[in-house]
Structure 1
Amino acid sequence: MSISSAAAIAAHCAALREHFTSVVLPLWRGPGYNGAMRLPYEAVRAEDHAPLPVTRYRAMACARQLFVFSLTGDAAHAHALFDSLHRYFSDTRHGGWFYSVDAQGAPLDTTKDLYTHAFVVFACAQYATAFGNRDALTTLADTATLIDTRFAATNGLLHAALDARFSAVLSGPLQNPLMHLTEAYLAASEATGEAGYDTALARLATAVADTFVHAPTGAIAELPIGSVGNRLEPGHQFEWFYLATRAGGKIASSGLAASLAHAFEFAQRHGVDAATGGVCAALNEDGSMQDATQRIWAQTEYLRALATRATPQDTAALAPQIARFRERFIHLRGWYECKTAAGEIARADMPSTTPYHLATAYASLPAA
């Protein structure tokens, strides 16, 4: 990498991190946070940061914010979020975590959702690592055990959703919660050093490879291969690429790394607009466009994947890609959540779940 290229990347990364520190974090400590309930609002308006009318609070959103403020070292805010996670979302009768509570904090959607449970594990791993909280380690272990015993399906897979009592399956295995469970197992392994999480990680990676990998492209589909209406999301290929690289030898036997090397190329060729750098939402299996919407999280995953693969071509592309991302998706009061392929704003509000995507991407970009 040339000195000028390295300097350009460093300058762009510094600008992203400064915006995160000076704009994003204060937003979710302040107007995006219900201080009385000690919960993040679902979303705020871009123009004045006023919270949208409250219909619910989700456990997953609370957990994502717990991760962010643990990663950034804000102990007081992280402690409050961890307490609120237990106070509002813990199901003391049937176990596990409610999906959401209403505006007054009473259980609203009592579904037991794998995506939510994965984020509880993930957030508690970061919270325990940051502050040495033993209750977080207990929560992590208890939730991981519950996932293993209550969500188990067949062939190493896990159901995406069950009813409140864990007695009825509401949704069978889906890619997205399994991906975030992979992320959670990686974080749990690093936080605890316990080999059981690596065993679970290897088992899960093999199950995903056997069920979701689209052989012609290597891409991981959203639904089991052969499902009607399936789709390939470029952002998820980039996200999986990072996770598989981070897992390394722990999942080597699954073959996912080789598949995702092809998936990266497929997603980059068909899913990234050459003119704007925008990453589309979804492709068909033949690479044709299914959903041209550009969501900010997919852009951050592309940045992280470029920095992770780090070929000479990736490194050369990183500075201009960050510049296009900043121009297209970042503004003085926050960010644009979704844009059309033409660059028009498709979603104007800013959800409390997005800082997680910004934080994880920025943490993987080169340091200044």
Structure 2
Amino acid sequence: MMQHISEKKTEPLLIMHQRFTNWLFDEVLPFWGTAGCDGTPENPALYGAQESLTLEGVSAQAPFKRVRVQARQLFVFSWAALQGQAEGRSRADGIFAFLCKAHNEQGKWGRSLTPEGQLLDPTADLYDLAFVIFALAWYERLDQSGKALALARQALRWISENMSTPQGGFFNTLPAGDEPRQQNPHMHLFEAILALYETTGEIADLTQAHALYALFSQFLQDETTGTLGEYFTSDWAPAPGHEGNWLEPGHHFEWVWLLSEYERLTGVITKTRADRLYQFAKRYGPDPATGLVCDALGRDGSVLKASSRLWVQGETLRAVLTVDPQDTDGLAARIVTNLLERYFTDCPAGTWHDQLNEAAYPVSKAIPASSLYHIITAYDVLNKVRSEVTQ
């Protein structure tokens, strides 16, 4: 059944939106609010969110909890509560309390905790810090006490004061290693700052976003090809060899949505840069037979990794609906069909397959909690577009 989805006539996007909605609110959020939280029956969020589940849908008993996963799940349940899901608030409150155990008074956040909440790895990781700020911005919309907002601003100051580099941008981690510079954590920091500004409406909260857009424009996006690099030297030249050739269409699509948001919030025109990203990823990323978007490409458009992560499909959906909200060529409908019928089926209720191989069969070894962030953000754009179309 799974290999023949491309031969079926896809349903109208409006019908699939309803199927997606039912699955998310009836199965996913209740499941991850109970089995996906670590604690007691009376307080299932006492020890935060699960790191991952086995393929049977039970705890994988990971000996650590990454800060990025706790932050992503804080966003998920803050979003759910703001959508009116009754249990979302208590889950968000519990995960927020657990996440704060990774924070010190100076504004630094560690990288991981033990399952009970003791600091396990104190390394400051830019990727994790970006998601902490993003999640705190969303939790502030729910809690409105000012505590999460203060923590988010403190974290952003700490990054600027401690992780900035003379060449622009930030170290990946502190203590800094000798690994290549990466675009991905900078992208998520950009996302976090936009979320923070949308929460507060205060221009000062946007300052770092302008610097990150300048970094993107000057170094991350190649002026000749319009493509987005992943790995760079310390002075932001493309990394040598294989790493410098490695591109991810999912991140091209993710930037398309982020640039649209940046333009919406600031008035800075980003369309030309976004279009170049979109056209490259749309031309080379999807498999013509299945519509699944691959995990990695070379700068010439050749497929370097033909498997298809769930998150890549979610980011593709966001970009497609950003560029073409009417879905005139049916591409968004095809993506949602793949999500519903390839990733969200033949697995425990409320869960998903995280990765398909080049033959479109599931190859995941676990069910990572981190994927829910991408599911929510993809659904959120789909939901907004469908609401606008049907008004």
**TM-score, normalised relative to structure 2:** 0.85
Give 1:134 deviation, angstroms.
1.3
- Aligned counterpart, 1:216: 224
Q: Distance in 1 between matches of 2:151 and 2:11?
A: 43
**Alignment partner, residue 244 of structure 1:** 259
Moved more, 171-180 or 255-264: 255-264
Provide Cα deviations, 1:115-145, integer angstroms capped at 9, x if missing partner: 1111111111111112313111111111111
Corresponding residue of 1:59? 67
1:191 Cα deviation after fit = 0.7
> Contact 1:198/1:250 (CA < 8 Å) preserved in 2?
no
Counterpart check, 1:345 vs 2:362: yes
Assess, with a 3 A threshold, how the Cα gap between structure 1 residues 109 and 214 changes in structure 2: closer, same or farther: same
Indicate the residue corresponding to 1:359 in structure 2: 376
Identical columns (%): 30
CA contact 1:219–1:260 (8 Å) conserved in 2: no
Query: Cα distance, 1:257 vs. partner?
Result: 3.6
**Displacement after TM superposition at 1:258 (Å):** 1.6
Within 5 Å, give how 1:204-283 maps onto structure 2.
Answer: 204-224=212-232, 225-228=237-240, 229-230=243-244, 231-248=246-263, 257-283=271-297
CA distance in 2, matches of 1:234, 1:251: 26
Aligned length: 356
2:170 equivalent in structure 1: 158
1:281–1:291 Cα contact (<8 Å) kept: yes
Following superposition of structure 1 onto structure 2, how do residues 137-176 of structure 1 map, counting pairs within 5 Å? 137-163=149-175, 168-169=176-177, 171=179, 173-176=181-184
Match of residue 23 from structure 2: 19
TM-score, normalisation: structure 1: 0.90
The 1:19–1:155 alpha-carbon spacing in structure 2 relative to 1, beyond 3 Å, is: same
Query: Bigger shift: 30-39 or 75-84?
Result: 30-39
Contact 1:41–1:352 under 8 Å retained in 2: yes
Aligned-CA RMSD value: 2.2
Q: Alpha-carbon deviations, 1:60-104, whole Å to 9, x = none?
A: 1111000010001011111111111112x1134x64111002344
Counterpart residue type for residue 54 of structure 1: A
Give me the whole-angstrom Cα distance separating, in 2, the residues matched to 1:72 and 1:176.
Answer: 26
2:75·2:139 contact (CA, 8 Å) conserved in 1?
yes
- Describe the shift of the 1:313–1:34 C-alpha distance in structure 2 as closer, same or farther (beyond 3 A): closer
Counterpart position of 1:285: 299
Distance 1:170 1:71 in 2: 37
Contact 1:338 1:348 in 2 (8 A): no
1 CA distance for matches of 2:270 and 2:321?
A: 19
SS at match of 1:82: helix
Which residue does the alignment assign to 1:72? 80
- 1:26, CA displacement in angstroms? 1.8
Can you give the 5+ residue segments of structure 2 that lack an aligned partner in the other structure? 1-8, 41-45, 82-87
Segments of 5+ residues of structure 1 without an aligned counterpart are none
User: Is 2:134–2:196's contact at 8 Å kept on the other side of the alignment?
Assistant: yes
Distance 1:137 1:104 in 2: 25
Which residue, out of 113, 129, 134, partners 1:101?
A: 113
More strand by share: 1
Could you say if the C-alpha distance between residues 152 and 252 of structure 1 is closer, same or farther in structure 2, counting changes exceeding 3 Å? farther
Structure-1 residue corresponding to 2:43: none
- Change in 2 beyond 3 A, CA 1:235/1:46: same
Measured against aligned partners, the alpha-carbon deviations of 1:24-75 in whole angstroms (never above 9, x if no partner) come to 212221122111552112111232x111132210111111000010001011
Alpha-carbon spacing, 1:170–1:227, altered in 2? closer, same or farther (3 Å): closer
Q: Deviations over 1:313-349 (max 9, x none)?
A: 6553222331133111112622110011201212142
2:308 aligned with 1:300: no
Q: Secondary structure at the match of 1:108?
A: strand
